[in-house]
Amino acid sequence: MTENPPAQPNGPQNGRPGQNGQPGQPYGHGQQPGQGQQPGAGYGQQPGYQPQPVQPMRPEDEKLWSTLIHLGGIIFAFVPALVGYLVLKDRGPFIREHTKTALNFQITMAIVYVISAILSIIVIGGVLALVAGILVIIFSIIAAVAANKGQWYKYPLTIEFIK
């Protein structure tokens, strides 16, 4: 059976190589935090990293994303409007307004769905949920068409939570 040689505590594999064959010091020994880095580089950042300003969208991209957010509300409720509002609201006034109105409408419809679930004990809750579902489909399609044409649209029957 052969024995492995003991590791050298300050050898080249564990730190900086020393001079004239002498073991070196471990990396970072005797340095203050941040020494040896380029100026402006913090932990986890690339040297010279500067955050980029948000670029405005082209008008056709704003129309496309607004249309998709309105149509996404039919299947995924308020999630596309919420994500669109949080991510795209600073990219242009058209997308900001459309995501805001879509989010307000979808939150209002979510409240209607909760009320209809509570009222489902009596028959009126089921009818209310059916009417709300039909309104979501109709108004979302109208809003998507308006957004695709580059027109402003405001949903009826909407509580403005976000102004």
DSSP calls for 126-153 = HHHHHHHHHHHHHHHHHHHHHHHTT---
Supply the pTM of this predicted model: 0.68
pLDDT in tens, 71-85: 999 999 999 999 999
The pLDDT of residue 51 is 74
Q: Is residue 11 part of a domain?
A: no
Residue type, 117: A
Q: Is residue 85 part of a domain?
A: yes
Please state, in angstroms and rounded to a whole number, the distance separating the CA atoms of residues 155 and 162. Answer: 13
The pLDDT of residue 11 is 47
**Domain limits at 67?**
59-148
Mean of the per-residue pLDDT values of the chain: 83
| pLDDT > 90? residue 89 | yes
Q: Is residue 87 part of a domain?
A: yes
Tally the domains of the chain: 1
